[in-house]
Amino acid sequence: MKPIKIGVVSDTHGLLRPEVFVSLAGVERILHLGDVGDAAILDALGRIAPVTAVRGNIDNSGECALLPEVEVVELQGVSLYLLHSIDRLDLDPAAAGFAAVLYGHSHKAEITRRKGVLYFNPGSCGPRRFKLPVTIGFLHIAADGALEAEIAGLS
């Protein structure tokens, strides 16, 4: 297997900044962790790479309301668990065999590890909230399946 780079975004809230397109150029997949706000955002991201998205708490109408609340993605033999709010996690990811839990909602970027599982929140790349930075994330999967998360500031 070859190493891959995955773009991870969350909380666009209907705003897709031009910097996101530049930053995500070359990724092999994009994961959107909810609060999309407008299905056109998923279409635009899909022109960069295939997109998997989950529903956030503001995604309650139109096409975004049809997104799943959780999603499991397997890439390079690595299992990823996607949801919008970490508070809604209702399983033990380590016991379930997940390598990572990817989530959004707080607009605050975070990378932690617990019981061998990567917990990754890319922050928000939509409208600025409070004084938090505008960020996206990248998930790097090495040829041996090792995971590394990266947070990138946009503006």
CATH of the domain at 112: 3.60.21.10
Q: Return the percentage of the chain with pLDDT > 70, whole number.
A: 99
Do β-strands 147-153 and 29-32 pair in parallel, antiparallel, or remain unpaired? unpaired
State the pLDDT at residue 155: 65
What is the domain range of residue 130? 4-153
pLDDT in tens, 19-46: 999 999 999 999 999 999 999 999 999 9
Answer yes or no: pTM beyond 0.85: yes
130 falls in which pLDDT band (50, 70, 90)?
confident
pLDDT tens digits along 36-91: 999 999 999 999 999 999 999 999 999 999 999 999 999 999 999 999 999 999 99
- Look at residue 37 in the predicted model and tell me its pLDDT: 96
User: How many structural domains compose the chain?
Assistant: 1
